[in-house]
Amino acid sequence: MTPPTQKIRLILDLRRAGITDTGLLSALENVPRGLFVPDAFQDQTWEDTALPIGHGQTISQPTIVARMVQALNPDKNLKVLEVGSGSGYQTAILSYLFRRVYAIEREGNLMQLAEDRIAGLRRHNVTGRTGDGSLGWPEQAPFERILVSAASEEIPPLLWDQLAVGGVMVCPLGEDRGEQRIMRFVKTDNVPDVEDLGPVRFVPLVSGRAQRRIAV
């Protein structure tokens, strides 16, 4: 099966999996996933699977990317904070769906590669930096949307503080070697409205986060 045929099959599979946002489907079709996949795995570019990118991280399974991004309710008038940009693949997709993307990655080498790839795609609405994602980006807060691509045992409190009232955060919750679930939180008067979007597996959100819990 040729790469174009594989891509078409993946997009059809995503539709069957419940991905209905036309802007998101268009972004998934337009962003060349192979640009973000290591050479050794190019033959698996359009398979619905996670692939290693080094530093103990992966480029996420397209179905997981699509489910999490769709849960944000993308809006081109809003800005989004992405925690854990990894290869930059999801970052590139977000750049088609939001006015401004702020991306944080703790591994400097991955952040540099992601920025180079996104610049090569001429996506000029992305700002990235290397750092502790659990601290967020307070200089640009509040954010109407926050997407966390690493698992936390609880809602990261500093990220929650930077989410605008009425805003949406999508974040995997669970222990590193235990069950993890994709959770969607809507901030209403500082109290989360919670929706469980199903099981997932992510690397842990490594941080020195404040010892404060958000009641859910």
Which residues are known to be catalytic? 60
Q: In the chain, where do the E strands start and end?
A: 51-54, 57-59, 79-83, 100-105, 126-130, 143-148, 163-174, 180-188, 191-199
Cβ-based burial of 188 (10 A; exposed 0-12, middle 13-18, buried ≥19) = exposed
* Alpha helix stretches (DSSP H) within 38-106: 62-71, 89-95
Record the tokens describing residue 182, joined without a space: 């994709």
What letter represents residue 19's amino acid?
A: I
